């Protein structure tokens, strides 16, 4: 059942804007779906919000979400809107500004473990309470259903595009994009799935022909830090035309800086990965004339952080 069938969404319909300077530079019509303007700062509110709504409709009174940041903040926003207790479990690697943002809107925050896997174990244990519902950051059909609404919006606006470019972390966004294309009669539209080196679990799985668990996440794009992509995302690479691409941290950071200048908006390196395909004019883009880029956003970046990223981008170790 689609979100439009039975409940008012928690997310907003985001702007669809042409990137005019890139369009001229590349001689293509480059369009942006500005998911960074969601109340949660990222696309995550679409899927996480729908999952939380459906859980509460079924009687849940306590939402528990393990997250590195963006999914947790989206769950906190959803929990506040729905008026239910919400607990976000984050690892010690989650930045202070993200932790403060989660607490500021009334969610309970627990810091557990050195990485997401350890935070996840605590979240799962907490959900042994029947009143508590586990809210995964990317791996759930309701999340893909909710994320697919961004394609619904583009189609309903009458916009024509010939490829979708999106970043991939755990695969929840990409799975939603593919689902959105398929349910709108656009199964022929290909997807360019972008990851940073050091966080490329989908790329590794495609090349291995099976799911791969990365030994560690070494990219600065920490919100792309899923050591193992969702099985559904990997399955979609067998059913849909999906090209996996990796970019360096430096390329992702440069894209964030360029985007800040061009569009007066801050996004995380995880989002910069997708933007880098156009800013770097990568060969994978050559055959397309009307690319749609999903500006997935991210609430873990601020001006001070962007300045630090700019310094990092000049480091030879990132190039």
Q: What CATH number is associated with residue 302? A: 3.40.50.1100
To the nearest 10 degrees (0 to 180), the angle between helices 231-239 and 172-183 is 40
pLDDT of residue 180 exceeding 60, the answer is yes
pLDDT of residue 248 exceeding 80, the answer is yes
**pLDDT at position 318, please?**
58
Last residue of a domain, one of 134, 165, 186: 134
Same domain, 105 and 252: no
**Mean pLDDT (the chain, rounded):** 91
Same domain, 100 and 226: no
Q: Domain range holding 75?
A: 44-134
Q: What is the pLDDT of residues 258-295, one digit of tens each?
A: 999 999 999 999 999 999 999 999 999 999 999 999 99
Last residue of a domain, one of 134, 168, 184: 134
Partners of 65 in the beta sheet? 88
pLDDT of residue 300 exceeding 90, the answer is no
Q: Which of 92-106, 145-159, 246-260 has the lowest mean pLDDT?
A: 92-106
Same domain, 24 and 170: yes
How many domains does the structure of the chain reveal? 2
Using pLDDT thresholds of 50, 70 and 90, give the confidence band for residue 32.
very high
pLDDT of residue 86 exceeding 70, the answer is yes
Same domain, 271 and 314: yes
Pair of tokens at residue 61: 């009174």
**pLDDT at position 82, please?**
96
Last residue of a domain, one of 134, 169, 198: 134
Using pLDDT thresholds of 50, 70 and 90, give the confidence band for residue 18.
very high
Cβ neighbors of 286 (< 8 A, separation 6 or more) are: none
Q: Which of 68-77, 165-174, 222-231, 298-307 has the lowest mean pLDDT?
A: 222-231
Same domain, 28 and 127: no
Same domain, 205 and 292: yes
Q: Which of 25-34, 92-101, 136-145 has the lowest mean pLDDT?
A: 92-101
Using pLDDT thresholds of 50, 70 and 90, give the confidence band for residue 164.
very high
Please tell me the pTM assigned to this model: 0.92
Alpha carbons within 13 angstroms on the beta-carbon side of residue 94 total: 31
For residues 24 and 20, give the distance between their C-alpha atoms in angstroms, rounded to a whole number: 6
Instruction: For residues 159-180, give the mean pLDDT.
Output: 96
Cβ neighbors of 96 (< 8 A, separation 6 or more) are: none
> In this structure, how many other beta carbons lie within 10 angstroms of the beta carbon of residue 211?
16
For residues 12 and 270, give the distance between their C-alpha atoms in angstroms, rounded to a whole number: 21
pLDDT of residue 3 exceeding 50, the answer is no
pLDDT of residue 176 exceeding 60, the answer is yes
Same domain, 28 and 93: no
Same domain, 80 and 93: yes
Same domain, 39 and 146: yes
């Amino acid at each position: 059942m689609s979100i439009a069938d039975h409940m008012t969404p928690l997310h907003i319909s985001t702007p669809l804007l042409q990137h005019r300077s890139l369009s001229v530079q590349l001689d293509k019509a480059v369009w942006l779906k500005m998911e960074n303007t969601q109340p949660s700062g990222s696309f995550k509110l679409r899927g996480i919000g729908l999952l939380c709504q459906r859980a509460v409709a079924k009687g849940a009174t306590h939402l528990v979400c393990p997250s590195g940041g963006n999914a947790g903040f989206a769950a906190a926003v959803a929990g506040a809107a729905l008026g239910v207790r919400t607990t976000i479990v984050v690892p010690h690697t989650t930045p202070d500004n993200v932790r403060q943002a989660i607490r500021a809107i009334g969610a309970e925050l627990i810091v557990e473990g050195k990485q997401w896997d350890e935070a996840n174990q605590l979240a799962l244990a907490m959900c042994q309470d029947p009143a508590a519902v586990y809210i995964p950051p990317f791996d759930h059909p309701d999340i893909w259903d909710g994320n697919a609404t961004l394609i619904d919006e583009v189609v309903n606006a009458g916009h024509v595009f010939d490829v979708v470019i999106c970043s991939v972390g755990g695969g929840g966004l990409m799975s939603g994009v593919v689902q959105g294309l398929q349910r709108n009669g656009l199964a022929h539209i290909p997807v360019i799935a972008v990851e940073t080196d050091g966080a490329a679990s989908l790329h590794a799985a495609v090349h291995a022909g099976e799911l791969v668990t990365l030994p560690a996440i070494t990219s600065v794009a920490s919100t792309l830090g899923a050591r193992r992509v969702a099985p559904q995302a990997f399955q979609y690479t067998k059913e849909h035309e999906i090209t996996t691409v990796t970019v360096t941290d430096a390329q992702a950071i440069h894209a964030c800086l360029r985007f800040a200048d061009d569009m007066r908006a801050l996004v995380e390196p995880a989002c910069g990965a997708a933007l880098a395909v156009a800013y770097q004019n990568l060969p994978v883009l050559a055959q397309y004339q009307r690319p749609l880029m999903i500006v997935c956003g991210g609430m873990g970046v601020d001006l001070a952080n962007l300045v630090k990223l700019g310094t990092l981008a000049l480091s030879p170790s990132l190039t």
